Structure 1
């Protein structure tokens, strides 16, 4: 069982993933208000804020006032029954209530206690952690956006999502370590800044390994050309050419095969060095027809290319490819009340997974309290 003392996105998304994998997740919320994201709208579905719903399916909601001694005692009993506890209070926040890891581990030695923060529990313990802020100070914005424009954030709260995945990986690893270590639990610390830095991959290593601080390049790639948007007669086409053979096929498909024989463009390193010359030549060839036409031509040639679409187009594509990208979620009566993106892993044989709708605030308070009071 997972006791979910988190709110907003990183923690709730991690616990929803655990719920998708079959865990029982009990979400502790403030009476009358609940998770902050319950009020983060528009947009709204028929059942609530779509932001909240994106990270809270397959959970039970119990409303407990942690400033009330009786409710706090119930919260502690829940924590002591848990296999996993996930929280994203400011570092030390739950400890002030007697719900810190040190307060629980003697009575629940197998507990996996996952603490999520913005900047860790040392020098950054008093800093508020929000995705947008971490994207800014952690360097992600410095490599996102047009070269001659303002820094941009990613289109979703990407750092929260990365942190949620890191938390899930950490919890699953800790559960396996507990199995191997005579049932001993552990305290995990995950922070947004570290999750961002762990995801900078080639851009981060350019600095660490070569002393080069990357900068914004719009949709261009620092190490591969063409790996970007190219303009056609009616709009942009995403082209991702990863090797010299693909480039030669692309040049042939566009009707400009000599480009692949030009020493300035024959190798990737040469294309990177001469991108300012090459890109206009490619766009000149592409200007003769539409993005859809060239997507078809390049795809038929076995090359990775596609029009820029919306989220609706992405869902339609996944459906056309047989990926079954969504699941229907049901309320307590079994009635379908919405559709959500499914967990992205496909199991064979299939994993038996719940598909219950995100809970209403306090929907399970009575049943959870009855369960807690009926346990020793």
Structure 2
């Protein structure tokens, strides 16, 4: 049994941060009911190309292990259905702008009045309060305002965003952590919590030692490309046939690295003896190392670095990573049969529990695929009533799933 088995999550979020959070909870065994707008569903269903069987690769990547329940929140009957579902849920997740849930009559204080054990979590770009609270928060915007873009990229180039939706994904991770902590607390108190998660807060938390440098010196760190502010050599080097990363993270590795490159004189040079010395002498040392590395192919250096135990890494494409034996052998690439997209592959959850074998996952749902089942099983809504709700534009169901009567 998975850790969150028996926990029901009502997921009113869309696009990336919230859906990634609820997918993480679903991977841990929670029952996730995804509430979607009936006509088009989650915005990310249209993010493409590419598409597979009418579903975007974007949507398919972050919505496994969920049921889709298509409910129109512009209708009072739709809002009432969500309110009734929340009464039977453990967690409610949203990523609307501040004030939206209150306008719908679904704010956390009202929901918890009916279900005191309910945990509610709201993801926003800038938080529930403050002068920026009502601004739309998108990944690119947050990467820029968090200071992350200013320290990312070539020192002589423009600020650069990280190559994945890091602000969205990190926020989803923090939200899932907050929810699991609230679930643990609930076992002691019996009461739910409201969790306010800001994308800006989450990204700013990544500044760690960069913020520490500013707080200590009063100066903002500058872009260093692939170099490290306080470790040298710890960066990307070009071999004769491509690129690799070398991480000489301490004095022990420095001595070993000098053996690898057959330069014992560098190990004996007092200018480079200690980590702080190497940082101060970066301008002299790095070009010497770069010249040496450039004379041989990657395979040569990788073999020698591996044998010596010096941290190193090839620089792989996304495709090479998805096919890497180290990942596939650990079950990090999973396959799921999808009703229209055929076999869907995802990157699996990185969490491993000692009593779990091969995980079984359900594929990302079609829009409204489970509306009938969820409303019938949890709320006792009959087939006839479902047909009436469909005709009123309150819900969307897949006809084959609607019960008789």
TM-score when normalising by structure 2: 0.88
Q: Out of 158-167 and 288-297, give the one that drifted further.
A: 288-297
Partner of 1:364 in structure 2?
A: 370
CA distances 1:190-227 after superposition (whole Å, capped 9, x unpaired) = 00011011122211222234423111110010000011
TM-score when normalising by structure 1: 0.95
Query: For residues 351 and 10 of structure 1, what CA distance do their matches in structure 2 show?
Result: 28
Asked whether the equivalents of residues 10 and 161 of structure 1 are also in contact (C-alpha less than 8 Å), the reply is yes
Partner of 1:167 in structure 2?
A: 175
Runs of 5+ consecutive residues of structure 2 not aligned to the other structure: 1-7, 382-405
Does residue 344 of structure 2 align to residue 342 of structure 1? no
Match of 1:137 among 121, 141, 145: 145
Equivalent residue runs for 1:1-376 within 5 Å: 1-46=8-53, 48-123=55-130, 124-181=132-189, 183-319=190-326, 322-331=329-338, 337-350=343-356, 353-374=359-380
How many aligned residue pairs are there? 373
Runs of 5+ consecutive residues of structure 1 not aligned to the other structure: none
Asked whether the equivalents of residues 53 and 342 of structure 2 are also in contact (C-alpha less than 8 Å), the reply is no
Asked whether the equivalents of residues 77 and 372 of structure 1 are also in contact (C-alpha less than 8 Å), the reply is no
Structure 1 residues 351 and 374: CA distance shift in structure 2, 3 A:
farther
Deviation (angstroms), 1:233: 1.3
Structure 1 residues 108 and 324: CA distance shift in structure 2, 3 A:
same
Q: RMSD in angstroms over aligned alpha carbons?
A: 1.8
Asked whether the equivalents of residues 4 and 85 of structure 1 are also in contact (C-alpha less than 8 Å), the reply is yes
Structure 1 residues 352 and 288: CA distance shift in structure 2, 3 A:
closer
Secondary structure of the residue that 2:55 maps to in structure 1? coil
CA distances 1:103-150 after superposition (whole Å, capped 9, x unpaired) = 211110000000000001111221111111011111100000010110
Deviation (angstroms), 1:288: 1.9
Asked whether the equivalents of residues 60 and 344 of structure 2 are also in contact (C-alpha less than 8 Å), the reply is no
Query: For residues 264 and 115 of structure 1, what CA distance do their matches in structure 2 show?
Result: 52
Structure 1 residues 352 and 173: CA distance shift in structure 2, 3 A:
farther
